[in-house]
Structures are given as C-alpha cells and as structure tokens.
Amino acid sequence: MALDLNDPDLEFADLVYAYQSWVMAVINDEKLGAEDKLLTDDIAEDALNAMRFLPGEVTSAIETSLARVYDVDPDELADLLFPED
C-alpha cells in the first residue's frame, strides 16, 4: 500500500506506521540477517514522505523504541537509516 498524501482520510497513525515499517525493515534486513528481505522501494518512499510530516520527536521515539526492542545500538541504527549523514 503506497502512502497517498492527498487522501483526506490519511491519519497521523498512517504516517507513524509508514515510518515504523521502514525502520523495522532496515533492522530486519541489515541487523537480523533475515533471509526474507522486507525493505522495498515502496516502504522507503512512504517513510520519506511520512518524515516530511512527522515531528523529529516522533521519528526519534520510533527509532529509539525499535532499537531497544531489537537490541540494536541507537547510533548504529542511525547509521543504517541515514548512511550519508
């Protein structure tokens, strides 16, 4: 499901879900060594679109929470999510 930013029924939770899905896919693919890769271009694109509307505190909270759940160092996760930074 691609995130339609013009959808009048789009909710804040949809933006959070899109960003959370991307972070989880990156953790799955890069840290957990899962054979089944989750990250797709659609997930990445939805996350980038969601980031335009989500406050930094929200994206940071998502990253921090998922890093704890999956026992990933937060700095390492940041490098995985934003390698060019």
Question: Hey, where are the domains in the chain?
Answer: 13-81
The answer to whether residue 82 scores a pLDDT higher than 90 is yes
pLDDT computed for residue 75 by the predictor: 93
**How sure is the predictor about 6, in pLDDT bands with cuts at 50, 70 and 90?**
confident
| Structure token pair of residue 42 | 């659609």
The answer to whether residue 85 scores a pLDDT higher than 80 is no
Q: Would you say 38 and 9 are in contact if contact means Cβ atoms under 8 Å apart?
A: no
- Helix (H/G/I), strand (E/B), else coil: 53: coil
